[in-house]
Amino acid sequence: MSNIRLAFPFVNGRNGVRRFTSASVKLEKSGDCQNKSVAARPFTCTFTRTMATTNSHEKRSLNYDNLNPNVKIMEYAVRGPIVIRAAQIAKELQQGVKKPFNEVISANIGDCHAMGQVPITFIRQVLSSVLYPPLLDDPKIPDDVKQRSREILKAARGSVGCYTESTGLELIRRHVAEFIEQRDGYPSDWQNILLCGGASDGIKNFLKLFLCNVDGKLPGVMIPIPQYPLYSATLAEMGITQIGYYLDESKNWALNVDELERALEEKKETCIPKCIVVINPGNPTGQVLTKQNIQEIIKFAHNHNLFILADEVYQHNIYAEGSEFFSFKKILMEMGEPYSSMELVSFMSCSKGYMGECGLRGGYAEVINMCPEVKVNYLKSVSAMLCSTVIGQACMDTIVNPPRKGEPSYELYIKERKAVLDSLNMRARMVVDAFNSFEGFSCNPVQGAMYAFPSITLPPKAIEAAKKNNQHPDVFYAFQLLERTGICIVPGSGFGQQPGTFHFRTTILPQPEKLKEMLGKFRAFHLEFVEEYK
């Protein structure tokens, strides 16, 4: 048995995103995997080899040399080395190891329930009733829950254990279309709705369509920097060129058309730009785009004939006064021709908003103006996976078709929903105010979504110390924070940032008391850190 131990130093990777490599790899007996150049190869976790001692293969069929090269280079910082270290620390604490703190605070991932957010009763009652229909006879279950559950069960041919159509249950697709119509004031065709296993699943299945080598050139997809690393990971895995455009931090992370043009110009010789990804409200940056900014983006996309991918999974998470969520669909439609004929896909999820049902894996895509021949093939390509989880689909139904005024679940639903969103609103301010009071921190308002992405000025000595440690400075800072306080954040380099700047992403999800405690610990750490490296 042999251990692979990692020290997580970082080296520069592609597209401004850092790669991490193993510093020390010990393989007592590793067959083809024993290799002197192993130390320069990317790793993401520690694990124990089993059966290595009995392995007599000279050369494995699948080895590092013939492993899919795109899998090797892809990165996903939200589940990267700092998070793996945080999990180790949590285990050490459980085992009684003494630390200067007694718990890990996971501020690295938008995992609402894990940070104490309480599920919405109506959602859970519907889902448990469709799973266990004897509950439909339980007098404690409200009538509107029973009615919704019966409708879903009928559409699902009596059991949520049945496969649905690949695109999801027609009933729920129709409810999604009605929800969109009500939200935007423009028609939505249920046949343009695809239910998927969370937005990530939908985004991956969609981006795949672009992979086509035309006269030796690969497609390019524009993504914001900073970005949610699902995009960089997916594009890397597929071998699609990433065209990163910087968000304008000085204008609260707005999109700047000059920067979009610059980014496109830089890459257009080496790829064929096909699509632009916009995340609104922003992840990790927390901005809510203005109508005017969306119009500018649409015009830019039109000028360059780009498919728009609108990641709108945080559409319920709007906090700042004066901020309003406008869907790309609505603005396209408002702008009329030629814009209203543009190709657009919008993604939504059950995982965020007031519901935070990350573990249930529900989401939808609305695709408009897609070339009919492409759409047929798109629908065909999702059919081999049979269908997304029916519980995720049913969860999406409860979100787009919530209790109506006068129904028995209405009051409680409104109360619970408001409590979550009000509290998030309060926490958004709390985080920003605290960070802006830290020396060398600058944090834009969190207008929406669930994250703050402050920029931090690091003392030159800290940058030196990071270099000595073979770490990117923001990674060094984040690891120090974790080891000294138990607070787990994600370094800005995992999302991308302007060269020479340092950031990190933290969620605003710890419950108010915990968040207060976390910010207090953070402040103390930061003072100590600055003092140490000043």
End-to-end CA distance of the chain: 45
Q: How far apart are CA 76 and CA 222, in angstroms?
A: 18
The dihedral through the CA atoms of 279, 285, 288, 293 has a sign that is: negative
Tell me how far, at minimum, the Cβ of 186 lies from a second copy, in Å. 11
Decide: is 478 part of the binding site for a second copy (CB under 8 A): no
| One of 387, 431, 432, 466 touching a second copy (CB under 8 A) | 387
Tell me how far, at minimum, the Cβ of 510 lies from a second copy, in Å. 13
Q: Which CB atom, from 212 or from 524, has the smaller least distance to a second copy? A: 212
For tokens 């000025």, what's the residue? 457
Residue type for 58, please? Answer: E
Decide: is 14 part of the binding site for a second copy (CB under 8 A): no
Tokens of 208: 């795949």
Q: Which CB atom, from 11 or from 376, has the smaller least distance to a second copy? A: 376
Helix (H, G, I), strand (E, B) or coil at 467: helix
Q: How far apart are CA 128 and CA 146, in angstroms?
A: 11
Q: How far apart are CA 255 and CA 121, in angstroms?
A: 38
Decide: is 303 part of the binding site for a second copy (CB under 8 A): no
Q: Which CB atom, from 24 or from 66, has the smaller least distance to a second copy? A: 66
Query: Which range in 60-68, 291-299, 446-454, 511-519 contacts a second copy by CB under 8 A?
Result: 60-68
Q: Which CB atom, from 62 or from 97, has the smaller least distance to a second copy? A: 62
| One of 50, 88, 270, 292 touching a second copy (CB under 8 A) | 50
Query: Which range in 254-262, 386-394, 422-430, 443-451 contacts a second copy by CB under 8 A?
Result: 386-394
Tokens of 337: 């021709």
Q: Which CB atom, from 123 or from 431, has the smaller least distance to a second copy? A: 123
∠ Cα 6 9 11 (to 5°):
130
Tell me how far, at minimum, the Cβ of 451 lies from a second copy, in Å. 15
Tell me how far, at minimum, the Cβ of 306 lies from a second copy, in Å. 6
Q: 113-172: which residues touch a second copy (CB under 8 A)? A: 113-114, 119, 124-125, 127-129, 131-132, 135, 156-166
Helix (H, G, I), strand (E, B) or coil at 346: strand
Tell me how far, at minimum, the Cβ of 187 lies from a second copy, in Å. 8
Tokens of 314: 């945080």
Q: 261-290: which residues touch a second copy (CB under 8 A)? A: 272, 274-275
Q: 185-224: which residues touch a second copy (CB under 8 A)? A: 189, 191-192, 197-198, 200-201, 204, 208-212, 214, 219
Q: 398-437: which residues touch a second copy (CB under 8 A)? A: none
Decide: is 178 part of the binding site for a second copy (CB under 8 A): no
CB 494 within 8 A of CB 80: yes
DSSP state of 40: G
Helix (H) or strand (E) holding 270: none
Q: How far apart are CA 78 and CA 67, in angstroms?
A: 23
| One of 12, 24, 66, 270 touching a second copy (CB under 8 A) | 66
Tell me how far, at minimum, the Cβ of 350 lies from a second copy, in Å. 9
Q: Which CB atom, from 207 or from 254, has the smaller least distance to a second copy? A: 207
Q: How far apart are CA 204 and CA 129, in angstroms?
A: 31
Q: 325-384: which residues touch a second copy (CB under 8 A)? A: 337-338, 340-343, 355-361, 368-381, 383-384
By rule CB under 8 A, what count of residues binds a second copy?
129
Q: How far apart are CA 426 and CA 453, in angstroms?
A: 17
Go through the chain and tell me how many residues it has. 534
Tell me how far, at minimum, the Cβ of 109 lies from a second copy, in Å. 7
Can you give 215-266 as a three-state secondary structure string? CCEEEEEEEEECCCCHHHHHHHHHCCEEEEEECEHHHCCECCHHHHHHHHHH
Tell me how far, at minimum, the Cβ of 268 lies from a second copy, in Å. 14
Q: How far apart are CA 116 and CA 20, in angstroms?
A: 32
Q: Which CB atom, from 119 or from 440, has the smaller least distance to a second copy? A: 119
Tokens of 96: 């009684």
Decide: is 95 part of the binding site for a second copy (CB under 8 A): no
Decide: is 10 part of the binding site for a second copy (CB under 8 A): no
For tokens 């003392």, what's the residue? 459
DSSP line for 104-152: -EE-SS--TGGGTPPPPHHHHHHHHHHHSGGGGG-TTS-HHHHHHHHHH
Query: Which range in 56-64, 316-324, 416-424, 509-517 contacts a second copy by CB under 8 A?
Result: 56-64
List the x/- string, 484-523, binding to a second copy by CB under 8 A. Answer: ----------------------------------------
Decide: is 310 part of the binding site for a second copy (CB under 8 A): no
Q: How far apart are CA 133 and CA 127, in angstroms?
A: 10
Q: Which CB atom, from 128 or from 442, has the smaller least distance to a second copy? A: 128
